[in-house]
Structures are given as C-alpha cells and as structure tokens.
Structure 1
C-alpha cells in the first residue's frame, strides 16, 4: 500500500542543469491544452530573467518530479501569481494539485512577502475550477487573455 503523499513530502526545487531533463520530460495530458508545455514556460521565464520576478521550479515527491510550477511575483501589489501548474498524466488524480497549492499557500503566508495569491484557468477546465475553489480562491470577475482570474487573500 502506497503512503499518502503529504505536503511535507513535497519539495519545491529550482530547475538547473541537474534536473532540466526531468523538467522537460513532464508533459501535459495529450487531450488537454489548458497549460503551456514546460519548454515554452521555461522560454517565457528566460524572457523575464532580468526582472527576477518569474520562478520556474519542480514540485517533487520524495525527490521525484511530479509537476512543473511557475510563479510570477508582482511586487507592487504584494501578489504571487501562480502562472503555471502542469501535472503530467502519471501524477493526475492523486491529490498532488491540492497538496502543491496547500504548500504554496503555506510558504507564501510564512514568507510574509505576499498579501494574496492569484491564478487563472481556461473556462471549461472544470477540474482546475473545482480545485481552486476548494482551496479558497475566489473569482475576481476579471479575465486575463480569456482566462478566469481567481484570488486568495492571505
């Protein structure tokens, strides 16, 4: 019987030369196009490197990559934008999305650097909407490039 994957067993690891191949091996489900591929996301992060506000990283369970996450710090509004959360097919329906979000929320609160977290999802992505709602995110009424923005006040 497999042990429950708690937030304590999940770690966030910066992407570097040692785990780059692990990062780009994470693929979204074939029938799902809600989240940009990891390589595209890493290219976007590279574009913002001078700002130092975009952080791509791996969510790992006991050292094994289970998801790709990318955040964007909006310093002027003290908001952390969860820009990307890609969970590959082998990690879906195992509660990882919820646990990763719980850990992001806890770390953001603990840091004291943020007043809120924001994220967005493509209309029709019922699973994302359900998970974000369950975690306490509330729709702002705004759209970002057609995506519904949700906010969690810390």
Structure 2
C-alpha cells in the first residue's frame, strides 16, 4: 500500500473533515473536524492528510512532547477504505518520519484499552505498552532498533 502524508491545506481540509469511521469505532476516535480544531487552536498537534491514488483516505496528527518523544494521534481511516492496509501504511510512514527527527527518543501513541483492533495493529508494528496511562488510554511506544 502506497500512501503519502500531506499537509492539511485550504484545498484538502474539507475532504479530511468528511472522513468517517464505522459506527462501532466512534467510541474510539473523534470526528476529524474536532482534530482539525485541536490542531488549529491548540499549540501542540500538527495535522496530516493521508492520500492514496490522489484521494484523501485518512487523517492523522502528530506532536512533540516535553521529553522530546513524538506522538501519533487522531488516526482515522475512512470506513469505505478500511481493511486495505491504509492504517498500517499510515502508522508505519509516520513512525519512520518522526523517528528520523533529531533527538527523538521514541514514538508514542495511545488507545482505549478496549480497542482490540488498535492494540493488535500497533503491537504488530512494534509498539510496546509501557504501563503508562494518558487520559484513560493505554500508552505504547516504539524505539528505533
């Protein structure tokens, strides 16, 4: 699966905001419009559109924590495009991009403890649960070999 992570711009933000997950996933992620507001009005998160074959198929955001670790957040793959490897490609590409930044000790993310699909995906990509909890979510970290 070949995807690209592109800046959210005036030309693609509407396609990002139109992304929707399956009904059974709504307890685990916010609407992309919420994430876009968090990125725009907050001072931490930076948004990215996930593009495949010229079409926005997903969204994610990233941040740098006080300890210099890079965080992946707001991972959304449109319901119509799931089960095609986009989520795996997205997390892998963003993990590699963030880990390549200077002074990056690790890449972190968090997910609801009951979100078995997220837990399995992230574990298969080498993220290890640390025992940390952030806002009720399990924290997992990946460190480059």
Alignment partners' CA distance in 2, 1:63 and 1:80: 27
Look up the match of 1:85: 75
In the TM superposition, residue 83 of structure 1 has moved relative to its aligned partner by 1.6
**Residues 1:139 and 2:129 aligned together:** yes
Cα offset for 1:113?
4.5
Write the distance in 2 (CA, Å) between the matches of 1:42 and 1:105.
Answer: 20
Mapped partners of 1:153, 1:102: distance in 2: 13
Q: Which residue number in structure 1 is paired with residue 90 of structure 2?
A: 100
User: Which residue of structure 2 lines up, in the alignment, with residue 68 of structure 1?
Assistant: 59
**Among candidates 34, 41, 48, match of residue 47 of structure 1:** 41
Query: Where do 5+ consecutive residues of structure 2 fail to align?
Result: none
When normalised by structure 2's length, the TM-score is 0.91
The CA deviation at 1:85 is 0.2
Q: Which residue of 2 aligns with 1:18?
A: 11
- d(CA) in 2 for partners of 1:61, 1:54: 23
Aligned residue pairs: how many? 143
What's the C-alpha RMSD, in Å, of the aligned pairs? 1.4
**Following TM superposition, where does structure 1 have runs of at least 4 consecutive aligned residues deviating by more than 3 angstroms?**
none
Quick check: 1:11–1:63 contact (8 Å CA) kept in 2?
no
Please, which runs of 5 or more residues in structure 1 have no aligned partner? Answer: none
Matches of 2:76 and 2:104 in 1, distance apart? 23
TM-score (norm 1): 0.86
